[in-house]
Structure 1
């Protein structure tokens, strides 16, 4: 008797011989990374709008190597936030382009957050940790993305 072409509900299809089914933790991590990218994007937009709206939102920093005008930081966070949101949406949709673009943009966001560290130190460290997780999740998932 032959096996049905589609698995019955509640069961999984066995992997083809020699195929790498990927790490289930990494696959779940990728979905979580997509959600985190959506949230990180929205928060980046909020940080950006706050920085653009007024220069008094964040603390004054004297003699800092990466000192920019808070409005300039606001634009950086706003643009990165919008891009991160759309990449997160692409990851949740399973788009093939989203993983590579996500790794690149999250890396840029990590660098920008590191440079933003003196303005909001606790939140910046939390964001850096989240960005490192997102990069790990996007790099370790070996499942085939949708085209």
Structure 2
């Protein structure tokens, strides 16, 4: 095996898959947050959970997470020149996907099927961003 066989073959730019998945999750978080924030949907109805939350407040949390996911998803896709800087750095997208996964864990008692699907998509976004190449590696640096 040569040294080139060990180098990652993925691109160094933003991940299109992670960008599309972040846009999808962000849009769903925005719709859910809007429905909960205006009072049309009650998220916390039971008293058997170890945490309590205000439905309107939780709706605003979903709106913020959704908006951040949409903006960072557009950055991953390189949609705007100003957001292209964020596409080169996976940390904001990793943070939004992690916060979204924790949010879905807290919503799992109310919406178990959707929460499991959303957590799986968030974990897939985290995996995609964590395993892609960060920058082009120069071959002269690899020589021992």
Match of 1:97 in 2: 86
Displacement after TM superposition at 1:105 (Å) = 1.2
1:66 aligns with 2:51: yes
Deviation at 1:64, TM superposition (A): 1.1
Q: Does 1:40 align with 2:29?
A: no
**Is 1:131 the counterpart of 2:91 in the alignment?**
no
**Residues 43 and 116 of structure 1, relative CA distance in 2, 3 Å threshold:** same
Kept after mapping to 2: 8 A contact 1:34/1:88:
yes
Q: What stretches of structure 1 of length at least 5 have no aligned partner?
A: 1-16
**Larger Cα-atom Rg:** 1
Gaps spanning 5+ residues in structure 2: where? 137-144
Q: TM-score, normalised by structure 2?
A: 0.76
* 1-structure distance, mates of 2:86, 2:24: 20
Partner of 1:118: 109
* Counterparts of 1:100 and 1:19, CA distance in 2: 27
- Alignment coverage as a number of residue pairs: 127
Query: Contact conserved, 1:61 with 1:118, CA < 8 A, in 2?
Result: no
Give the TM-score normalised by structure 1. Answer: 0.75
